[in-house]
């Protein structure tokens, strides 16, 4: 599986960024297409599913159904960890910040997984100054490492 393809991901996500067709039959096709493009494209779809726009009126049961479809995609070593974070977002709960940092470090092993990194970051508890600093610093360090590699 291709880890990332920046150009293909940009053209794929542009039509649905912050306006995913949750209640449209095309939602399932977008889930499948994301998996076909790259791992990061698949995580971009998951990001849309677990962080819908606040102004949207998508039903949480529908989101869970779509996440279930997403979860049926190919296996990958970070898939279960990122799904765990996505479910926390859907549930309106947070992961302890230390767990978030560890999951972010696990994601960092797979270059260019920016959408997965964002899911874990937003699912993690940053209410304490210590947690906020640790999460923000870890996110920045990982993104800098990827940028230095050109991914």
* Interval 50-76: pLDDT, tens: 999 887 789 999 999 999 999 999 999
pTM value surpassing 0.85: yes
* Interval 24-34: pLDDT, tens: 999 999 999 99
Q: Report whether 49 contacts 86 (CB < 8 A).
A: yes
């Amino acid at each position: 599986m291709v880890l990332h393809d920046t150009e293909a991901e940009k053209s794929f996500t542009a039509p649905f960024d912050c306006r995913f067709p949750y209640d449209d039959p095309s939602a399932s096709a977008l889930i499948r297409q994301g998996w076909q493009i790259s791992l990061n494209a698949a995580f971009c779809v998951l990001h849309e599913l677990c962080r819908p726009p606040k102004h949207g009126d998508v039903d949480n049961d529908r989101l869970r159904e779509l996440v279930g479809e997403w979860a049926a995609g190919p296996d990958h070593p970070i898939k279960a960890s990122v799904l765990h974070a996505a479910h926390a977002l859907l549930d309106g709960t947070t992961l302890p910040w230390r767990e978030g940092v560890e999951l972010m470090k696990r994601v960092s092993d797979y270059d260019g997984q920016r959408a997965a990194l964002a899911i874990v970051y937003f699912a993690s508890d940053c209410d304490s100054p210590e947690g906020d600093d640790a999460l923000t610093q870890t996110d920045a360090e990982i993104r800098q490492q990827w940028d230095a590699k050109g991914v």
